[in-house]
Structure 1
Amino acid sequence: MISESSSESDWRAFRARLVANHRNNDALRRSVRDARWAHGLECVERGALLVAVDEDSSSFWSHVVILMLDHAAHGSTGIILNRTQSWTLEKHCPEIMVHRNGKYWDALANDVAGVGGPVGLAAPRDRSVIALSTKPQIGMTEEVVPGIHRVINLEKLAKMNSKLTGPNTLSPEELSLFVGYSGWAPGQLQSEIDAGYWTLAAASGAFIEDCMFKHVMDTIIDPTGKRVPIDAHGFQAWATTRELLGM
Structure 2
Amino acid sequence: MEFFQYKNIDTPAKGDLLISEPLLPDNNFDRTVILLCEHNEEGSFGFVLNKLSMLNVDEVLDEVESFKTNLYVGGPVQQNTLHFIHDIEPLYQSGQLIQEGLCWGGDFDLLISLLKANAIDQNKIRFFVGYSGWSEFQLQQEIDENTWIVARGVHPSYIFNTDPDKLWKDTLEKMGGRFKVYANYPTDPKLN
**TM-score if structure 2 supplies the norm length?**
0.79
Preserved CA contact (<8 Å) 2:46 2:133: yes
Q: 1:78 to 1:108 in 2, by over 3 A?
A: farther
Separation in structure 2 between the aligned mates of residue 186 and residue 58 of structure 1, nearest angstrom: 20
Give the secondary-structure state (helix, strand or coil) at the position aligned to 1:77.
strand
Q: Deviations over 1:3-40 (max 9, x none)?
A: xxxxxxxxxxxxxxxxxxxxxxxxxxxxxxxxx32211
Say yes or no: does 1:187 pair with 2:155. no
What's the % identity of the aligned pairs?
23
Q: Relative to total residues, which structure has the larger helix share, 1 or 2?
A: 1
Higher gyration radius (CA): 1
Query: Which residue identity is paired with 2:117?
Result: T
Query: Aligned to 2:94, which of 140, 146, 156?
Result: 140
Query: Which residue identity is paired with 1:51?
Result: I
Query: Which residue identity is paired with 2:174?
Result: L
1:47-62 correspondence to structure 2 within 5 Å? 47-55=15-23, 59-62=27-30
Q: Deviations over 1:154-193 (max 9, x none)?
A: 22322xx322228xx2122222111110000000000000
Q: Deviations over 1:138-168 (max 9, x none)?
A: 433332122222122322322xx322228xx
Q: Which runs of 4+ in 1 moved over 4 A?
A: 107-110
Structure 2: which 5+ residue stretches go unaligned?
180-192
Q: Relative to total residues, which structure has the larger strand share, 1 or 2?
A: 2
Preserved CA contact (<8 Å) 2:123 2:160: no
Give the secondary-structure state (helix, strand or coil) at the position aligned to 1:51.
strand
Say yes or no: does 1:210 pair with 2:161. yes
Give the secondary-structure state (helix, strand or coil) at the position aligned to 2:111.
helix
Say yes or no: does 1:240 pair with 2:170. yes
Separation in structure 2 between the aligned mates of residue 242 and residue 76 of structure 1, nearest angstrom: 22
Say yes or no: does 1:114 pair with 2:72. yes
* Counterpart position of 1:38: 3
Separation in structure 2 between the aligned mates of residue 116 and residue 50 of structure 1, nearest angstrom: 13
* Counterpart position of 1:4: none
Separation in structure 2 between the aligned mates of residue 187 and residue 56 of structure 1, nearest angstrom: 19
* Counterpart position of 1:3: none
**TM-score if structure 1 supplies the norm length?**
0.62
Aligned length: 172
Structure 1: which 5+ residue stretches go unaligned?
1-35, 98-104, 122-126, 218-233
